[in-house]
């Protein structure tokens, strides 16, 4: 406990320090970034990018990603700033049809309702004209009325619609430039607190060219912790599973070089199995199989991928129906064979010698993994969490929106304990941590580079 002395020199209290709070001086030493604490916020409109990507079918499954941004919001408001918040939800842009699907299932409304309950302040979500296929083309000038009310403290904050509903968010040309200029025109300062949103889009990257930009408190915390994954105690085991094959296969081939063992699951594992054994599995794209071949080649030489043999095949992705799913074994795979959907890892796989040995002997485990097609096929993920927890010597890092959601829903008690256990750290972004491992440096993230460049200008 450090005594607290008032300006007049009288000691009237003490400060509590449990040694776990990140000190501003530590952050300064570790990160040469423009920090929120350095920004002049008095009466400034602050455009705050967060990763509140926690909504599935209109409902919040795990509030964690919202909760960790509350300190930044409080800091901004306490220092006189006025908040305009923005986040993406889901992936409304369809790469095949090149259209943006605006669905209420992916609106920010559930997040706004949660924030209002938590903070007891009113947010307003501006309404903009939408198009059928291109999403929202422009931020209407009508928003200026809201910004005026925000400055006059008639409203607590503005929460923009899902950033990925805007045509410019993921664009690379004219629509991007227009959107960024419109965003920049709304505010005086930009704060990026969206560690999980590593993709360099308008609201995460390009905006920093036009506004003085700073790293928020959650971003700082995460960037400081991610160092530990870059200098792991060995053996270092990474478990990567889930659905986002397109953005995760790139980092995976480089991550392969830094880990001692790699465990794969989900669509990523399915793709790998197709590439290795010449089988066909429902939902796996031919172009992705080509990308996975490099991983297969590497592993023939270095043998780091720990295969899980017992898997669950389902005839349908509509649900889990009696008689329509079964356990299959990789040992029976032969070139040309076709499987419907492989939707989970059978828990017995985690009891097999190689997997058990890898997870029990690990000193560092990084998990960005939902092993099965949720919510129906959850047994594999549940078993994985248990086996990892049974290793008392390992530093355990979990990261990823769905990874945390699954962890919380399958093991609520363990999840709650993990939040307060020094052997665990939960990152808000899984893809981001993979990207950092790929780059070998948190400063290698495009979104972080943009903040650095803003500092230099």
CB nearer ligand X15, residue 266 or residue 401: 401
Task: Kindly state whether residue 401 participates in binding ligand X15, applying the rule CB under 6 A.
Answer: yes
User: Of 144-152, 179-187, 400-408, 443-451, which part binds ligand X15 (CB under 6 A)?
Assistant: 400-408
Of these partners, ligand ADP, ligand X15, none, which one is at the site of residue 247 (CB under 5 to 8 Å by kind)?
ligand X15
Burial of 173: CB neighbours in 10 Å, binned 0-12, 13-18, 19+: exposed
Of 352, 360, 385, nearest to 241 by C-alpha is 385
In terms of CB distance, is 188 or 246 closer to ligand X15?
Answer: 246
Q: Please give the residues from 296 up to 355 whose contact with ligand ADP meets the rule CB under 6 A.
A: 342-343
| Integer angstrom CA distances of residue 22 from 1, 77, 217 | 16, 21, 10
> Which residues between 82 and 101 bind ligand X15 (CB under 6 A)?
91
Q: Answer for the pair 429, 437: CB distance below 8 angstroms, yes or no.
A: no
Stretch touching ligand X15 by CB under 6 A, among 7-15, 95-103, 191-199, 289-297: 191-199
- Which is nearer to ligand ADP, 36 or 218 (by Cβ)? 218
Considering only residues 46, 51, 85, 346, which one is a binding residue for ligand X15 as defined by CB under 6 A? 51
CA distances in angstroms from 437 to 295, 364, 405, 425, listed in the order given: 16, 14, 23, 16
Which bin fits 272, alpha (ψ -120 to 50), beta or left (φ > 0)?
Answer: alpha
Give the other-Cβ count within 10 Å of 94's Cβ: 11
In the list ligand X15, ligand ADP, none, the entry touching 197 (Cβ below 5 to 8 angstroms by class) is: ligand X15
Q: Name the minimum Å distance from CB 83 to ligand ADP.
A: 26
Which entry of ligand ADP, ligand X15, none binds 124, CB below 5 to 8 A by partner kind?
none
From ligand X15, ligand ADP, none, interface partner of 196 (C-beta below 5 to 8 A by class): ligand X15
- Between the alpha carbon of residue 340 and those of residues 115, 128, 151, 161, 254, the distances in Å are 42, 42, 56, 38, 30
Q: Provide the minimum distance between the beta carbon of 360 and ligand ADP in the complex, in angstroms, as a whole number.
A: 23
Asked whether the beta carbons of 158 and 187 are under 8 A apart, the reply is: no
> Nearer Cβ to ligand ADP, position 123 or 346?
346
Give the span between the Cα atoms of 24 and 3, in whole angstroms.
Answer: 19
Query: Is 402 a binder of ligand ADP (CB under 6 A)?
Result: yes
Minimum distance, C-beta of residue 339 to ligand X15, in the bound complex (Å): 25
Binding mask 241-280 for ligand ADP (x = CB under 6 A): -xxx---------------------xx--x----------
Write the DSSP assignment of 65-124 as a string of letters: HHHTTHHHHHHHHHTT-EEEEE---S--EETTTTEE---GGG-SHHHHHHHHHHH---EE
Residues 230-289 that bind ligand X15 (CB under 6 A): 244, 247
Q: Binding to ligand ADP by residue 382, rule CB under 6 A?
A: no
- Where is 338: in which H helix or E strand? strand 338-339
Q: Which does 343 bind (CB under 5 to 8 A by kind): ligand ADP, ligand X15, none?
A: ligand ADP
CA-angle at 218, arms to 116 and 119, nearest 5°: 15
Smallest distance from the beta carbon of 151 to ligand ADP, in angstroms? 36
Cα(342)–Cα(361) distance, rounded to whole angstroms? 28
400 binds ligand ADP (CB under 6 A): yes
When asked if residue 430 is in the footprint of ligand X15 (CB under 6 A), the reply is yes
Query: Omega before 283 cis (within 30°)?
Result: no
Helix or strand (DSSP H, E) at 190: strand 189-192
Smallest separation, CB 369 to ligand X15 (Å): 11
160 touches 126 (CB < 8 A): yes
Q: Does 376 bind ligand ADP (CB under 6 A)?
A: no
The least CB distance from residue 455 to ligand ADP, in Å, is 29
Helix H or strand E segment including 436: helix 430-439
Which chain residues interact with ligand X15 by CB under 6 A? Answer: 51, 53, 91, 196-197, 199, 244, 247, 400-402, 429-431
Which chain residues interact with ligand ADP by CB under 6 A? Answer: 242-244, 266-267, 270, 342-343, 368, 370, 372-374, 400-403, 430-431
């Amino acid at each position: 406990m450090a005594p607290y002395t008032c300006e007049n020199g009288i000691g009237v209290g003490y400060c509590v320090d449990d040694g776990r709070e990140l000190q501003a001086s530590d952050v300064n030493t570790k990160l040469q970034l423009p920090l929120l604490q350095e920004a002049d916020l008095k009466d400034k409109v602050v455009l705050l990018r967060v990763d509140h990507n926690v909504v599935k079918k209109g409902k919040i499954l795990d509030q964690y990603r919202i909760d960790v941004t509350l300190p930044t919001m409080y800091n901004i408001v306490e220092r006189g700033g006025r908040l305009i918040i923005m986040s993406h939800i889901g992936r409304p842009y369809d790469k095949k049809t090149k259209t943006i699907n605006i669905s209420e299932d992916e609106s920010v409304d559930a997040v706004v309702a949660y924030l209002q309950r938590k903070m007891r302040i009113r947010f307003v979500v501006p309404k903009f004209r939408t198009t059928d296929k291109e999403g929202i083309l422009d931020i209407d000038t009508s928003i200026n009325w809201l910004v005026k009310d925000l400055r006059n403290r008639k409203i607590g904050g503005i929460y923009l619609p899902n950033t990925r509903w805007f045509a410019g968010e993921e664009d690379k040309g004219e629509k991007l430039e227009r959107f960024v200029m419109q965003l920049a025109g709304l505010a005086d300062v930009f704060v990026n607190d969206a560690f999980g949103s590593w993709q360099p889009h308008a609201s995460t990257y390009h905006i920093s060219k036009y506004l003085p930009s700073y790293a928020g408190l959650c971003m700082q915390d995460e960037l400081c912790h991610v160092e530990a994954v870059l200098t792991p105690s060995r053996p270092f085991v990474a478990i990567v599973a889930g659905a986002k094959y397109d953005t995760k296969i790139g980092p995976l081939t480089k991550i392969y070089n830094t880990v001692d063992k790699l465990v794969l699951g989900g669509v990523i594992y399915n793709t790998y199995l197709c590439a290795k054994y010449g089988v066909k599995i429902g939902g796996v794209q031919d172009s992705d199989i080509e990308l996975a071949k490099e991983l297969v080649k590497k592993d023939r030489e270095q043998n780091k991928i720990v295969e899980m043999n017992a898997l669950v095949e389902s005839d349908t992705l509509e649900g889990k129906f009696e008689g329509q799913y079964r356990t299959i074994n990789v040992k029976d795979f032969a070139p040309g064979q076709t499987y419907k959907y492989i939707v989970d890892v059978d828990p017995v796989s985690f009891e097999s010698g190689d997997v058990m040995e890898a997870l029990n002997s690990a000193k560092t485990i990084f998990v960005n993994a939902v092993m099965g097609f949720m919510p129906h096929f959850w047994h594999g993920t549940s078993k994985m969490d248990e086996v990892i927890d049974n290793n008392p010597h390992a530093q355990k890092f979990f990261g990823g929106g769905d990874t945390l959601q699954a962890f919380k829903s399958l093991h609520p008690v363990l999840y709650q304990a993990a939040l307060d256990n020094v052997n665990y750290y939960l990152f808000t972004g899984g893809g981001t941590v993979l990207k950092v491992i790929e780059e070998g440096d948190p400063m290698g993230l495009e979104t972080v580079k943009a903040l650095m460049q803003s500092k230099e200008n």
